[in-house]
Chains A and B, each alone.
Chain A
């Protein structure tokens, strides 16, 4: 029964989305307050029904209702509850429902925050909701026709197939929802941009409405990518945190464009510069999200992310992608000549900094797209199978991002419209000194000291010191740092966070140590100042797996530091083996121990790695996300304040 309820809810959501699209567009063009209110109501209603469908599906997973095919294929009664819940989005059908749910959340948020005080604002919001509704319709039809999560299975099996054990991990519980909050959040910026293009008025009002959504999407995307990389780091068993895998690229490209977008929006809102460019970026950002969805969901790529390959699905998403990219671009081409030109600025100004940022970020995204699509194109055109490996991406994207890091601290210090390069460089003299000192110190102590490593460390320090300089300069004195506006904090934290990420990445790749040995119980191995002794292994049983668990004593300087327990797990239901590494972190470095396979003489392969600064990668990402939360919090707070002032104005007698 629950399955049918879910299906019905999806159909109702589809009907309400059609209403939302119609009343949004018609209401806006006729200026009908009633129709526009109806559009907002339909957005809320459609969200409620999608949520109902989502929770119905979750209920089927939690109660192990194997008469629902998706549940039978992806769940199992012996699975812990958290993985029954996260299993909802651990497969194609469920992940599309999550996608729709998040689209519904953003539409509802647009509807609820929509100011109706002036007609221009109300019409902009109504059209944006109309565009959101069209996206929802496309994906609801996609789900209902090609990936029905509630499809029945008769007769229901006694037990389910289980979930890929690699995905049975707390990381998976957070990674997809965060990533989708980012991907789909970019739809809000896209919808406002499309609404602005449809609007006869021509100003930057849409940027004011779209900016908080873009910031929210960027923040979620940052956390989602970080969660995915963290998950790969500790589950895949060799400490890699970024593989330039096509699916990772699919999430990095929207992030790069979204980063460009939030910067360009800042300039458009503040000074009116880059008006057309910001529109174009908002369209591009969501297009890249859709390209990501297409690459992952169509099965043109094969990886742990593409759950199933059904050419019908790929074709359908390709069609959505085509319409979603071309329609706004045609609209843009038609409207762009009528747009008023962006506000002028000098060569030395914060706008120039933002322009440089945008050029480098979009060029990086384009380069990644080239490397990701090239194998697909070559295979389709000539049947030649190739793969483009990490060296391509490190050779192209890393230098561009390095250049970006070089100019990043200059931006916030330079004035809008008309800056002075002497003042900017002089203000940053201590940051430059800090970067130089870091480089020289590293050259003196680090062995080996590769040039790329040195440059990256200097850039990381430059970013962090540049942010501190910016805060100090704005505050004037230490006591006033607390009083700085939140905008200054979010810029400084976002830039410093990237510096911390850079330090983590370079430490974990350039200065890693690695040692692999076959150890019999009692034997030891050495790595980077640690001595590891295999004490023995034992068989243990988990809720849905069996494991060999090793006890390895970690010693440093003759003293026992800790005992680590890496495991090799075997999942009988899924017939899969996973490696559970053991990580001992000191925040400035990780000791990473993996239990390999058993050898005939009673020995075990043990690999150990030391990754200096590795935790900084995720720490930095969290700092960047914090910057996003601060920016969002400031927006909400100012909304609340404005609301109070308005309320106070109303309650006072108007005499």
Chain B
């Protein structure tokens, strides 16, 4: 092999190793770090899908009249998709746009009593906005009203 070919080969091998390494790292990291989204009806239909302790995201509407604030930091509310509902416990400051009757997405785990322990509550858009997962969940549960506001209306 000429030195030039040698260099090319070395370059190609480095490139392959770097690319392969990055791809392996990416696949490995993806396995552990993806979060699934479930609606309250998904959880009711397949409770076995959401094992305790594994983090996932839940979404729906904040049920009207369900928000209870303690004297401390704890907040309790119910997420519903019209058919099924899941109680949620959260400790901390709720986002500015969190309101009853509005779409919400929460990230956390489910306790053995069926309460969703939220680590993070997202409701970061304007009042016309509805998270796409929530729109989808409401459509599937048959409680979606056209013109209710969703992607496209804001």
Residues of A at the B interface (CB closer than 8 Å) are: 164, 236-238, 299, 302, 304, 307-310, 341, 344, 347, 355, 359-360, 363-364, 366-367, 370-371, 374-375, 384-389, 391-392, 395-396, 399-400, 516-518, 568, 574-579, 594, 596-597, 599-601, 603, 605, 607
Contact = CB atoms under 8 A, between A and B. Distances in A.
B71 interface: yes
Given A304-B124, A575-B127, A370 B152 contact: no
Given A363-B19, A396-B26, A386 B37 contact: yes
Contacts of B73: 516-518, 605
B96 A577 contact: yes
B37 A603 contact: no
Given A387-B34, A395-B33, A599-B71, A366 B96 contact: no
A299 B37 contact: no
B22 A400 contact: yes
A237 B96 CA distance: 9
Interface string B18-52: 11011001101110111111000000000000000
A374 B93 contact: no
A360 B73 CA distance: 44
Interface residues of B, number: 44
A391 B32 contact: yes
Contacts of A344: 3-4, 7
Interface in B70-120: 71-73, 92-94, 96-97
Given A363-B19, A371-B26, A596 B33 contact: no
A374 B126 contact: no
A307 B126 CA distance: 11
A346 to B, nearest CB: 9
B34, B97, B127, B131 — most chain A CB neighbours (10 Å): B34
Given A302-B131, A385-B133, A597 B94 contact: yes
A385 B22 contact: no
Contacts of B3: 344
Interface of B: 3-4, 7, 10-11, 14-15, 18-19, 21-22, 25-26, 28-30, 32-37, 57, 69, 71-73, 92-94, 96-97, 124-127, 129, 131-133, 136, 151-152, 154
Given A386-B36, A386-B37, A596-B93, 19 more contacts: A238-B93, A299-B152, A302-B129, A309-B152, A344-B4, A359-B18, A360-B18, A366-B26, A367-B22, A370-B26, A371-B30, A389-B34, A395-B28, A396-B29, A575-B127, A579-B96, A594-B93, A599-B71, A607-B92
13 contacts: A302-B125, A347-B10, A359-B14, A360-B18, A385-B133, A386-B34, A388-B35, A391-B33, A392-B32, A518-B72, A594-B93, A597-B93, A607-B93
A578 B18 contact: no
B37 A385 contact: yes
A359 B10 CA distance: 14
Given A164-B126, A374-B30, A386-B34, A363 B18 contact: yes
Contacts of A302: 125, 129, 131-132, 151
A599 B69 contact: yes
Task: Give the secondary structure class of A's interface.
Answer: mixed
Contacts of B71: 518, 599-601, 603
A273 to B, nearest CB: 11
Given A371-B30, A387-B35, A577-B96, A363 B22 contact: yes
B22 to A, nearest CB: 4
A347 B13 CA distance: 14
A399 B25 contact: yes
A485 to B, nearest CB: 31
B127 A395 contact: no
Contacts of B4: 341, 344
Contact of B34 (A388, A516, A594): A388
Contacts of A576: 96-97, 126-127
A516 B29 CA distance: 32
Given A309-B151, A359-B15, A518-B71, A392 B93 contact: no
A276 to B, nearest CB: 12
A366 B23 CA distance: 9
A578 B98 CA distance: 11
Contacts of A518: 71-73
B41 to A, nearest CB: 14
A510 B87 CA distance: 33
B26 A367 contact: yes
Contact of A367 (B25, B57, B152): B25
B3, B10, B129 — most chain A CB neighbours (10 Å): B129
A385 B136 contact: yes
Nearest to A385: B37
Contacts of B154: 307-308
A572 to B, nearest CB: 12
A79 to B, nearest CB: 15
A366 B124 CA distance: 28
